Amino acid sequence: MTGEPTGRPAPRSPESGPRSEKWAERQIALRVSVYVFVTHAIAGFIWLLFYLGDHADK
């Protein structure tokens, strides 16, 4: 008799509801912020290497 309605509401999982959506949005925003920061840090480091290489005594 699997799949038959029992008249009771289904138990709510911890991942359901508006609170979990808010948390998921925060996680995505944090992840994007970290990716943007790390990408800019790596690009800045590479730029610094080129700058120092261009101004090195040859």
Model pLDDT for residues 13-50, shown as the tens digit of each residue = 656 666 788 899 999 999 999 999 999 999 999 999 99
At residue 51, φ and ψ (nearest 5 deg) are: -60, -50
Give the number of domains in the chain. 1
Q: Which residue has the higher pLDDT, 11 or 35?
A: 35
Identify whether 32 is part of a domain: yes
What is the Cα–Cα distance from 56 to 50, expressed in whole angstroms? 10
What pLDDT is attached to residue 31? Answer: 97
Identify whether 8 is part of a domain: no
Identify whether 24 is part of a domain: yes
Identify whether 43 is part of a domain: yes
Identify whether 10 is part of a domain: no
What pLDDT is attached to residue 20? Answer: 86
Identify whether 57 is part of a domain: yes
What pLDDT is attached to residue 16? Answer: 61
User: Is residue 20 within 8 Å of residue 14, measured between CB atoms?
Assistant: yes
Question: Domain range for residue 36?
Answer: 18-58
DSSP string, 22-57: HHHHHHHHHHHHHHHHHHHHHHHHHHHHHHHHHTS-
